[in-house]
Amino acid sequence: MKYLDKHTIIFFLLISITGILEHLFILNLSQEYNLRIFQAFTLGLGYDLMNGAMLGIIILLVPMTTYYRKIFCCILGCAFMLFVFIDFNYVLIFGTHLPYSTIEYLKESDSFINSIVFAIKSYSFLVLFICPMFALIFFLFLYDKNVISKKNGLLSKLITLFILLLLGGSAATYSNSYVAKNMENPLTSAAIQYFYLTRNREPIEKISRPVNSLRIIKNLIPGQIPTGEHWKNYPLVRVRKSLGCQNADNSTIKQKLCSEVIKPNILILMLESFRAAEIGAYGSKLGLTPKFDYWSKKGILFNKFFANGFQTRHGQVATYCSLFPNYGAAVMKRYHRNNFNCLPEVLNKYGYATSWVFGSDSNFDGQSSFLKKIGFEKIIDKFDFHESVSTLGWGISDKELFVKLEKVLDNEIQPFFSSALTSTNHHPFEVPSEYKLNRGQSVKARYQEAIYYTDAMLGEFLKNITKKPWFENTIIFITADTSSFQPSEKNPKNFDEFVILRSQIPLLILLGENIISGKEVGRYIFKKPSSQVDIGPTILDILNKEIVVPWVGRSILENEENYYIKNPYRAYTNRPGSYWAVIQNESRYYRENNVNDHFFGDQSKEKYDYLKKIGKSWIDTINWVLQENIIWPELQNEKRY
């Protein structure tokens, strides 16, 4: 190293090695090894060399004394290593590098304490942060004894600069040639690049009225456009007649869903990250969900049901408000002050008592204020549990959550609408010892244990409430807030399987009166695509209510012979910047990274173009109505149509 700037070279090597180690860990997560996987790995290595060279050049060119330059090296290097460590643990949970939008969670870091503690105890903390950090400090100060003349110092800097430019430039040319197509794959991209390139995924610039998109979605929303001047500026609002249960046909789904109770209780159970891929009733062979599988034989199981977004807050907006998650800034983040007309508020006006139960802090993600705003009268969270109850990972254990929910419902005035969100099946996936499956300590193994535990607690809860006097008059929706990004039993073979894995969730509907009377005859499977936005309209249809609402979903009880011949059942899902999708039975369209098109099923160009058009129209429309706050006007509770 006689003719090289030693401090810069040491810094370059350790920064590059840290990035390479992260990519090796990510490679180890792969369920198969082939030429495509190794090509992706080499792209990631290219970014690691580029990052090392880029930061090394900064160290080399910043004018300062040797001592202060070493201090600068240590600070910058340790910051980078810490960032890589955090990024890897994000990859373990969400399947991509750390996006820029996660900055918003810095003020809520206390909610992640258990996940942080778990990460610090893992091998990644030692390998990606502690060891590289001490190596950097050790080698920087080891080479402090040699005195270099100004002439040799300048020459060494020039040679070092040339080497870094050559290595970094070559690596960047190779990796950047693929960046647009592969940024979402953590094996092909790198932490710094992904963080930087995702900074504009939630643009704040104002968009103009999407005239063409509004014209297209006008015919996609069920119901009649209300009359009256005050409605003309609210493009989502429709009069929903809710005649599904009144139509005189004997379809199995209507026999099972149309209750004889005028105002049945409604209960929605959202199971944290309870993905369809691990559920036996959806084809899994892992044996993790015996209780769900048992109850699925007593109700209506939706085998093509999808989460509309990828976070809990997206699932809540879609389920409670029948509104697509924004393909950009989250509704509960940027648009929480907007006017909405959601399911809890609607049911509250019909005499329903409304409550929401959660085992963690409801202030997280602004849930407490938003859910109160949309009509939940009671918000019960971890602060309403006795201090002696058990906690697991993210919050109160699912066992204690269901015990609390039972008590809340026992004391609720009927009819009631209640919803609960579990939390044990959230990283760090902690479960009691009796639910350990002894499949190792990998995040994937712990995730499977958490599913097994949540399933057991769900089964216990359902068994208990069948004995309750209010159960017979209750309709229960069992679903998930979102899917999961953990590795599955089967590795996706194409983009179709990739998106379905990351967005398909369960939906099981149980009618208490059918279960008590023994009317249920085996499992009924609803085989058409649907998603979270369809839950609200279905509930209103069951209740036989005619109402004006700004909902984008549809009731599953509607007749297909009329309106739905032109608009067949569809499911929509998105992850901003990563993909959005429109899914029909016979054809599926995916838009990847806002660049690549994927089309599966019926290969007609007409169908391809149409699905792409309606998907883009929904994205533009939702973005615009949120921006303009024209989902719903500020009304004084009176019926105005």
What pLDDT does 577 receive? 78
Q: Are residues 171 and 232 in the same domain?
A: no
Domain interval for residue 334: 223-430+444-561+621-628
Last residue of a domain, one of 179, 197, 215: 197
What pLDDT does 181 receive? 56
What pLDDT does 176 receive? 66
The verdict on residue 641 lying in a domain is no
Q: Are residues 458 and 378 in the same domain?
A: yes
Task: Give the mean model confidence (pLDDT) for residues 343-369.
Answer: 94
The candidate with the shortest Cα–Cα distance to 571, out of 582, 560, 559, 585, is 582
Lowest-confidence pick of 129-138, 227-236, 475-484: 227-236
Q: Are residues 242 and 154 in the same domain?
A: no
Query: Which residue has 């091998």 as its token pair?
Result: 123
Contacts of 582 (CB under 8 A, 6+ apart): 570, 571, 572, 588, 589, 611, 612, 614, 615
For the chain, give the mean pLDDT.
88
Q: Are residues 133 and 274 in the same domain?
A: no
CA gap 187, 19 in Å, rounded = 11
Looking at the 3D structure of the chain, how many domains does it have?
2
Q: Are residues 155 and 189 in the same domain?
A: yes
Q: Are residues 83 and 125 in the same domain?
A: yes
The verdict on residue 574 lying in a domain is no
The verdict on residue 207 lying in a domain is no
The verdict on residue 360 lying in a domain is yes
* Tens-place pLDDT, residues 60-74: 998 888 889 899 999
Residue that wins the pLDDT comparison between 130 and 366:
130
Torsion-angle region of 222 (φ positive above 0: left; ψ -120 to 50: alpha; else: beta): beta
Residue that wins the pLDDT comparison between 466 and 542:
466
* Tens-place pLDDT, residues 10-43: 999 999 999 999 999 999 887 667 777 888 888 8
What pLDDT does 205 receive? 76
Residue 562 has pLDDT above 60, yes or no: no
Q: Are residues 155 and 266 in the same domain?
A: no
Res. 641 pLDDT band, cuts 50 70 90: very low
Res. 563 pLDDT band, cuts 50 70 90: very low
Task: Give the mean model confidence (pLDDT) for residues 375-400.
Answer: 93
The verdict on residue 211 lying in a domain is no
CATH number of 523's domain:
3.40.720.10
The verdict on residue 633 lying in a domain is no
The verdict on residue 204 lying in a domain is no
What pLDDT does 177 receive? 60
What pLDDT does 171 receive? 81
Question: Helix 66-94 vs helix 35-61: angle between axes, to the nearest 10 degrees?
Answer: 150
Residue that wins the pLDDT comparison between 38 and 523:
38
Q: Are residues 58 and 104 in the same domain?
A: yes
CA gap 135, 10 in Å, rounded = 9
The answer to whether the beta carbons of residues 272 and 481 sit under 8 Å apart is: yes
Q: Are residues 382 and 489 in the same domain?
A: yes
Q: Are residues 43 and 113 in the same domain?
A: yes
Which of 134-143, 526-535, 574-583 tops mean pLDDT?
526-535
The answer to whether the beta carbons of residues 505 and 480 sit under 8 Å apart is: yes
* Tens-place pLDDT, residues 589-630: 999 888 889 999 987 888 889 999 999 999 999 999 999 999
The H or E element that residue 28 is part of is helix 6-28
The answer to whether the beta carbons of residues 447 and 484 sit under 8 Å apart is: yes
Residue 401 has pLDDT above 50, yes or no: yes
Res. 170 pLDDT band, cuts 50 70 90: confident
The verdict on residue 104 lying in a domain is yes
User: CA distances (Å), 426 to each of 70, 389, 552, in order?
Assistant: 41, 18, 29
Q: Are residues 187 and 334 in the same domain?
A: no
Residue 483 has pLDDT above 50, yes or no: yes
Q: Are residues 341 and 249 in the same domain?
A: yes
Last residue of a domain, one of 153, 180, 197: 197
User: CA distances (Å), 159 to each of 57, 64, 65, 156, 563, in order?
Assistant: 12, 19, 19, 5, 72
Question: Helix 6-28 vs helix 66-94: angle between axes, to the nearest 10 degrees?
Answer: 10
Res. 136 pLDDT band, cuts 50 70 90: very high
